[in-house]
């Protein structure tokens, strides 16, 4: 199995830049590497400063790159399903072009990205696959797609499977709509997605890295992503703060740099015990392999970019009847006074020498904090339903 590194974060924070830089660094260390952009708003070609296509192509020694293209993937992986959707739509009177567009059903973009990952992982051609993923919301859709499809497969389809097979054949005969073939395709696809999921949920194989900037809105989104990734069982092994301005700034940037210090501290408090990697602002746009190498230097110096930087879970939510416990890993926290406060879906905890500021799963905003205690390196905060 190759190692899989997934970069996500808010739009514009530097996901593509960090993903490409990481891939380049892996390749320079001798690992056969692929960087795969799954963000429909592709910018990988700009980052590496050369045109890219929907299949892997070499851009440096041991380094391949590609941008997933939904329409190309639809032809490659699910010809029958596309045919099915198109013929159903045309049957209902939609014209051919509209039918082609509509054949891109929700989830297909994410699905095709996962199928590419599956194929590339199985090819044996790569030691490391770097995913330049979409912004956090879409990435969570991507990562939960296999679970959602499994649910459909197990709950909704088993009963209909035989019916669709029999009826589908008759439908194809009389109307030309390939219902049965489309179904077979779907069945095969769902099976494949299940395989990709095992790959993504194995923390020794896949690590997500959260990219952010020292800015309020960006940090909020990254915190939420961190919480949800852990809730869904994905390994997150580093937080990356990109575009950190170094040294003193004057004029228009002075205030920005002053605020930056506070945000860097908040990031430590929000993502600890994850390692926080800082990347300096290069003072210019980053494109081309030379500048990407500088980004990689800032990120990893002489560490192995493909190593697992953090492996133990640090956030757990447990249900007990009506109540919930949120457990936070706080290694090295000294016993002492604990102060815990809830602000909507945020929890702020001060434990003697340590401070934590985490985002709660959204539903806990409707619960109230009733107590917090420290034991065995874990802080456990108790929540009960609001009256
Ligand atoms: N460390 C950095 N220093 C200077 N510019 C950067 C840095 N990281 C990213 N950029 C620039 O910021 C912009 C957004 O980066 P990009 O990687 O495309 O973000 P995303 O993929 O998250 O949307 C690009 O113009 C890129 O060149
Ligand atoms: Mg991008």
Cα–Cα distances in Å, from 204 out to 4, 213, 225, 306? 9, 27, 20, 11
195 CA from centroid of ligand 1 (Å)? 33
- For helices 108-123 and 136-151, the axis angle rounded to 10 degrees is 80
Q: Which of 11, 14, 47, 241 to mutate to test the pocket of ligand 1 (most atoms within 8 A of CB)?
A: 14
Question: What is the arithmetic mean of pLDDT over 143-158?
Answer: 70
Position 73 pLDDT exceeds 70: yes
pLDDT score for 100: 67
Q: Give me the percent of the chain exceeding a pLDDT of 90.
A: 57
Q: How many CA atoms lie within 13 A of 38 on its CB side?
A: 30
Residue 131 sits in the same domain as residue 261: yes
Ligand 1, CB cutoff 6 Å, lining residues: 9, 11-17, 43, 47, 242-243, 279, 281-282, 285-286, 295
Shared domain for 354 and 277, answered yes or no, is: no
Say what the pLDDT of residue 309 is: 97
Looking only at the bridges linking them, the beta strands covering 276-280 and 315-320 are unpaired
Does one domain contain both 270 and 378? no
Output the pLDDT for position 233: 84
- What average pLDDT score do residues 33-47 get? 94
State mean pLDDT over 272-286. 95
Q: Are residues 263 and 291 in the same domain?
A: yes
Among 178-182, 188-192, 277-281, 340-344, where is mean pLDDT lowest?
178-182
pLDDT-based confidence at residue 146 (cuts at 50, 70, 90): confident
- Any idea what the CATH number is for the domain that residue 293 is in? 3.40.50.300
Contact partners, residue 182, CB within 8 Å, separation at least 6:
80, 81, 83, 84, 85, 168
Mean pLDDT of 43-55: 96
Q: 53 and 192, same structural domain?
A: yes
Number of H helices, E strands in the chain: 12, 15
Q: What is the mean pLDDT of residues 117-141?
A: 93
- The C-alpha atoms of residue 60 and residue 289 are separated, in whole angstroms, by 9
**Closest-lying ligand to the alpha carbon of 47?**
1
Q: Residue 17 CA: which ligand is closest?
A: 1
Co-location of 376 and 249 in the same domain: no
- The pLDDT score that the predictor gives to residue 102 is 64
pTM above 0.95, yes or no: no
> What local confidence, expressed as pLDDT, does residue 221 receive?
93
Following DSSP, what letter does each residue of 323-384 receive, concatenated? Answer: EEEEEEE-TTPPSS-EEEEEETTEEEEEETTEEEEEEPPGGGGGEEEEEEEEETTEEEEEEE
Six-digit token string for 249: 């700034």
Q: Please identify every residue whose CB atom is under 5 Å from ligand 2, which is an ion.
A: 15-16, 39, 43
> Rounded to whole angstroms, how far apart are CA atoms 46 and 57?
15
The reported pLDDT for the residue numbered 112 is 85
CA 320 to ligand 2 center in whole angstroms: 41
Same domain, 347 and 242: no
Burial label for 333, CB within 10 Å (0-12, 13-18, 19+), is buried
Cα 21 to ligand 2 centre (Å) = 12
Cβ neighbors of 149 (< 8 A, separation 6 or more) are 189, 190, 193, 194
pLDDT, tens digit, 9 for 90 and up, residues 227-247: 889 888 899 999 999 999 998
Q: Domain range holding 341?
A: 315-385
Per-residue model confidence (pLDDT) at position 264? 97
How many Å lie between the centroid of ligand 1 and the Cα of residue 43? 10
301: confidence class by pLDDT, cuts 50, 70, 90: very high
- State the distance from the centre of ligand 2 to the C-alpha of 214, rounded, in angstroms: 18
Is the model's pLDDT at 159 over the cut of 70?
no
pLDDT of residue 152: 67
Strand 315-320 relative to strand 63-67: parallel, antiparallel, unpaired?
Answer: unpaired
Looking at the structure, tell me whether residues 202 and 339 fall in a common domain.
Answer: no
State yes or no: pLDDT of 205 exceeds 90.
yes
Do 233 and 287 share a domain, yes or no?
yes
Ligand 1 nearest atom to the CA of residue 281, by list position: 3
DSSP 234-284: --EEEEEEEEEPPS---GGGHHHHHHHHHHHHHHHHHHTTS-EEEEE--SS
Residues 253 and 369 in one domain: no
Mean pLDDT (whole number) for 280-306:
97
What is the number of the ligand 1 atom nearest to the C-alpha of 279? 1
- Please tell me whether residues 109 and 3 are part of one structural domain: yes
Helix (H, G, I), strand (E, B) or coil at 172: helix
Same domain, 307 and 325: no
Q: Tell which of 293, 312, 331 closes a domain.
A: 312
Residue having the nearest C-alpha atom to atom 16 of ligand 1: 14
Residue with CA nearest ligand 1 atom 19: 14
Which range has the worst mean pLDDT, 22-26, 146-150, 281-285?
A: 146-150
Sheet hosting strand 128-132, strand order edge to edge: 57-60, 63-67, 33-37, 128-132, 3-9, 206-212, 236-244, 276-280
Nearest atom within ligand 1 for CA of residue 298: 1
Mean pLDDT of 161-189: 71
pLDDT band at 46 (very low <50, low <70, confident <90, very high): very high
State the CATH number of the domain containing residue 323.
2.60.40.790
Give CA–CA dist 273/331, Å, rounded.
Answer: 7
How high does pLDDT run on average in the chain?
A: 88
- Separation of CA 15 and ligand 2 centre (Å): 5
Q: Is the pLDDT of residue 59 over 90?
A: yes
Number of domains in the chain: 2
Is residue 381 over pLDDT 90?
yes
**From ligand 1's centre to the CA of 151, what distance in Å?**
37
pLDDT at 317: 92
pLDDT recorded at residue 103: 62
pLDDT, tens only, 78-109? 777 777 777 777 777 777 666 667 666 667 78
Share of the chain above pLDDT 70, in %: 90
Ligand 1 atom closest to Cα of residue 282? 3
Least confident of 73-77, 285-289, 317-321, 374-378: 73-77
Q: Out of 296, 312, 328, pick the residue that ends a domain.
A: 312
Query: Among candidates 325, 331, 320, 332, which has minimal Cα distance to 347?
Result: 325
Minimal-distance CA residue to ligand 1 atom 23: 12
The neighbour count for residue 382, using CB atoms within 10 Å, is 17
Half-sphere exposure of 386 (CA within 13 A, CB side): 8
Last residue of a domain, one of 260, 294, 312: 312
Binned at pLDDT 50, 70 and 90, residue 158 comes out as: low
Q: Is the pLDDT of residue 55 over 80?
A: yes
Round to whole Å and give the CA distance between 309 and 299: 12
């Amino acid at each position: 199995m190759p190692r899989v590194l997934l970069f996500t974060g808010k739009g514009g924070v530097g996901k593509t830049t960090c993903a490409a830089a990481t891939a380049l660094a892996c390749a320079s260390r001798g690992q056969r590497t692929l960087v795969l952009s799954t963000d429909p708003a592709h910018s990988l070609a700009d980052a590496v400063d050369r045109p890219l296509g929907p299949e892997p192509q070499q851009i440096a020694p041991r380094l391949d790159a590609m941008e997933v293209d939904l329409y190309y993937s639809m032809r490659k992986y699910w010809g029958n399903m596309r045919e099915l959707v198109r013929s159903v739509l045309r049957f209902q009177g939609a014209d051919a072009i509209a039918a082609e567009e509509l054949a891109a059903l929700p989830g297909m973009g994410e699905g095709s990205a996962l199928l590419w990952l599956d194929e590339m992982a199985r090819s044996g051609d790569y030691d490391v696959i770097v995913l330049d993923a979409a912004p956090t919301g879409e990435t969570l859709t991507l990562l939960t797609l296999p679970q959602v499809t499994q649910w459909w497969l197990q709950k909704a389809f088993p009963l209909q499977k035989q019916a669709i097979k029999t009826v589908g054949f008759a439908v194809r005969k009389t109307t030309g709509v390939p219902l049965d073939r489309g179904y077979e395709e779907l069945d095969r696809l769902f099976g494949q997605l299940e395989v990709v999921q095992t790959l993504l949920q194995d923390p020794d194989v896949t690590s997500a890295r959260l990219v952010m900037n020292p800015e309020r809105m960006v940090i909020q989104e990254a915190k939420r992503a961190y919480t949800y990734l852990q809730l869904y069982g994905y390994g997150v092994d580093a937080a990356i703060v990109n575009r950190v301005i170094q040294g003193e700034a004057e004029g228009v940037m002075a205030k920005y740099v002053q605020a930056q210090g506070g945000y860097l501290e908040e990031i430590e408090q929000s993502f600890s015990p994850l390692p926080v990697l800082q990347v300096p602002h290069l003072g210019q746009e980053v494109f081309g392999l030379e500048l990407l190498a500088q980004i990689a230097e800032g990120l990893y110096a002489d560490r192995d970019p493909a190593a697992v930087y953090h492996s133990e879970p640090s956030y757990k939510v447990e249900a007990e009847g009506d109540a919930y416990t949120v457990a936070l890993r706080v290694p090295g926290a000294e016993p002492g006074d604990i102060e815990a406060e809830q602000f909507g879906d945020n929890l702020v905890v001060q434990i003697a020498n340590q401070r934590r500021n985490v985002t709660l799963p959204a539903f806990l905003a409707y619960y109230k904090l009733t107590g917090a205690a420290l034991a065995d390196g874990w802080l456990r905060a108790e929540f009960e339903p609001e009256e």
